[in-house]
Amino acid sequence: DGGITQSPKYLFRKEGQNVTLSCEQNLNHDAMYWYRQDPGQGLRLIYYSQIVNDFQKGDIAEGYSVSREKKESFPLTVTSAQKNPTAFYLCASSYPRVAEAFFGQGTRLTVV
């Protein structure tokens, strides 16, 4: 089955630790995205990547880092510099110059 997979679904970390969220797609999409969603609120863009080996900061990139070494993978690291990391994180991918993006099921990160 083609799709976009985020893992794990739930993640717990201690304050001050870096944590990496996985996002893998087998849709052959060039563009990939990371969003943060807080309870009862909208999606805010963290980072996005048009193509492998390239990525740009979104609206709330501070405290996060990404890499795009392979077309199918776009991992997000939440660093200890992120002041409020507890949130629901969503990854998406799309073909270039196409409106529709496909989303993963999300990772709920809780930092204690």
- Beta bridge partners, 54, equal none
The token pair that represents 25 in the structure block: 């797609």
- Asked if 27 touches other proteins (CB under 8 A), the answer is no
Indicate which single residue of 11, 27, 43, 52 sits in contact with other proteins (rule: CB under 8 A). Answer: 43
Q: Is 11 in the site for other proteins (CB under 8 A)?
A: no
Nearest to 6 by CA among 71, 103, 84: 103
Q: Does 40 bind other proteins (CB under 8 A)?
A: yes
Beta bridge partners of 76: 21, 66
Encode 65-81: b = buried (16+ Cβ within 10 Å), e = exposed.
bbebeebbebbbebeee
| Contact pick of 35, 66, 71, 76 for other proteins (by CB under 8 A) | 35
Provide the binding-site residues for other proteins, judged by CB under 8 A: 30-31, 33, 35-36, 38, 40-45, 48, 50, 56, 58-63, 82-84, 90, 92, 94, 96-97, 99-106
